[in-house]
Amino acid sequence: MINRAAESYRQDGMRRAYLLGPSHGTPAERVARFRPAFDALTSAGFAVTAPAVSQPAACESADHLLSVMDDDLDALAAADVVVTLPGSDRLWEIAIADALGVPVVSFADCLAERACA
């Protein structure tokens, strides 16, 4: 399923960024933490996926959790780059991105060095 998703995500030709950061706090707190990076990446021409903001705060069942994880893996596999916010260094998505060959870049480096360009 991951490979099929990666192909479909790229049909529009846009570069894809998977924005990764800590998902603790209320939905409003998560939006406030992710919004500046989300907006900057969008302005730079990326289609941005930020699961910590778009996913529900809690899953209703094991099946729901598996569905959410499946969506996250599809988006991660389809990404051209994983952009990390502070506090992301121990999140599971980094290991998956490394295994898939998706570059992982901090948001600070992305801005300072144009590493995401």
Instruction: Indicate if the alpha-carbon torsion angle 56, 70, 99, 41 is positive or negative.
Output: negative
The pTM for the full model equals: 0.80
Domain ranges of the chain: 2-113
Query: What would the two tokens of residue 23 be?
Result: 């998902």
pLDDT for the residue numbered 26: 80
pLDDT digits (tens, 9 = 90+) for 46-76: 889 887 766 655 667 777 677 778 888 898 9
Looking at the domain 2-113, which fold is it? Rossmann fold (3.40.50)
pLDDT for the residue numbered 5: 40
- CA dist., res. 62 & res. 59, Å (int): 7
Which residues of the chain register pLDDT less than 50? 1-9
